[in-house]
Amino acid sequence: MGGFYVEQNMNGLLAALMKPTRRKVFVSYHHGNDQVYYDEFSRFFHDQYEAIRDNSLERLIQSDNTEYVMRQIRERHINGTSCTIVLIGAQSHERKYLDWEIKATLEKCHGLIGIVLPSHAKNSGGEIVVPDRFLDNHKSGYAVWSHWNGLTAQGLTQLINAAIAKPQWQIDNSRPLRQRNG
């Protein structure tokens, strides 16, 4: 009888050891416009990823000291994650904290992914408008992106793996920090 309990405990231990760990990702988005997309993202991908979000940096970090704010972004949000997922909506390209979070991500050489939301903006040429620092890194080959529609757990895993595997020499973090919202 004791052997059954030992075997059962061993099976439980093995199952716990074999359970895949949820990768931590930081999700950057415009809280005023795109909260509903973050909530849906978090709900849908909860079992696969531990989504870390900033809870609106404007409220959390009340300081005008840029260096202090950047350090807080790195220490509170970017550390311990493997990549940043930027939810790209209508005004994302105008948000200074999105730019700052992307900069902090690149300083840590973490993966960078953009998910274009259905609410995204287009320029006069019909091109999707994305944050400038993200665009710099997409052009350099470092950042990867996809569309919200049709995004699956397997597809997101492939994006994350691709983003993490990008060579660091492709990072373009030369743009000055955005100082205000558009």
Cα separation, 33 vs 76, in Å, equals 23
Q: What angle (nearest 5°) sits at the alpha carbon of residue 118, between those of residues 115 and 121?
A: 90
Per-residue pLDDT of the chain (182 residues), as tens digits, is: 555 444 555 565 555 555 556 678 899 999 889 999 999 998 888 778 776 655 544 445 666 777 887 787 777 778 888 899 999 999 999 998 899 999 999 999 999 999 999 999 999 999 999 999 999 999 999 999 999 998 998 999 999 999 999 999 999 999 999 988 88
- Domain ranges within the chain, ordered by starting residue: 23-170
For 90-128, give the DSSP string.
TTGGG-HHHHHHHHHHHHTT-EEEEEE-TT--B-TTSPB
Q: Token pair 């995204």 is at which residue?
A: 120
State in words which class domain 23-170 has.
alpha beta
Entry pTM:
0.82
Residue type, 85: I
CA atoms within 13 A on the CB side of 15: 6
